[in-house]
Amino acid sequence: MKLSIIIPVFNEEENIEKIYSEIIKLFSFKYEIIFINDGSNDNTYNELEKLYKKDNKHIKVINFSRNFGKDAAIYAGLKYSCGEYNCIIDGDMQQSPKYLIDMIKYLDENKSCDSVAMCANSRKNEFFLKSFFIKLFYMFINLVSDIKFKKDAGDFRMFRNNVKDAILNVKEKTRFSKGIFNSIGFNTYYMQYDIDKRYSGKTKFNILNSFKYALRGIINYSNKPIIIGLIIGLILIIIGILFEIINIEISNNIILIFIGVIFLYLYIIGIYVYNLFIEVKDRPIYIIKSMLGIEDEKE
């Protein structure tokens, strides 16, 4: 099989048929489309079931028991993929399937290249706050991270099986796919693309969830927050000693700021400890409720 297309979906009932109809126009070779229903609470699974009955030659469905997140869905899709190339694409049509042709062509013509990652040219069709936080995320994480992240290169990418195997060998539970792609290495070509408008439905963007996801990436791939905490702690100690030496009375406002800084870094340390706690408990990355078109689970 030439290509496995992995599409994580969460509450995308109105987009399922559209992305399928766009994909089937593209290829004459053998391919598969693996939809991962990530605990949707609308009619997404019913739409996937109908699509499977319509075209079980190309369609496979993994149905999670609840929402485990996009990173878990990507991992599951890769585990069950059978293609020579593996492609991850969103199900809302903002990442147009037409770019798959260019990605395949590049990999076919450049045998030394292991992966093609798509980089957004502009984000004019995205919600303003989402674009702002994405830019802020890349700027900040490259300041503190031990590995470098290519600006505007997300999960939309295609790669060979050597890359897939490396991703599957990363067994961590608190997964951050953007970090995993960068940390495993391999030769990656960055290709530009234009973000389209969402075909249907509402964006899943949420400021709080986006902040938590960004923080997970920073914690997973950097120890600099702890170092920064050490530096700030030393500065506060020095300030306190100087105030004592020159007999300056510390106001209640300054004390509150000091306490706030302490609690902030207790929170950051808590996240590191919590991530360790999750890894030690060894809970599954995902739980499958049902599958269509996939008979035997791979070990």
Query: Dihedrals φ, ψ of 18, to 5°?
Result: -65, -50
Q: Kindly report the average pLDDT of the chain as a whole number.
A: 82
**Which residue do the tokens 């600099």 mark?**
224
212: number of Cβ within 10 Å = 11
Q: What is the CATH number of the domain that holds 44?
A: 3.90.550.10
Q: What's the number of CA atoms in the CB half-sphere (13 Å) around residue 213?
A: 19
Q: In terms of pLDDT, which residue wins out, 225 or 172?
A: 172
234 lies in some domain: no
Query: Dihedrals φ, ψ of 163, to 5°?
Result: -70, -45
Average of per-residue pLDDT across 235-261: 69
Count of domains for the chain: 1
38 lies in some domain: yes
228 lies in some domain: no
228, 219 contact by CB (below 8 A)? no
84, 185 contact by CB (below 8 A)? no
Q: In terms of pLDDT, which residue wins out, 260 or 40?
A: 40
119 lies in some domain: yes
247 lies in some domain: no
39 lies in some domain: yes
145, 218 contact by CB (below 8 A)? yes
Instruction: Of 82-86, 141-145, 194-198, 281-285, give the lowest mean pLDDT range.
Output: 141-145
246 lies in some domain: no
Q: In terms of pLDDT, which residue wins out, 146 or 73?
A: 73
Domain interval for residue 125? 3-218+282-292
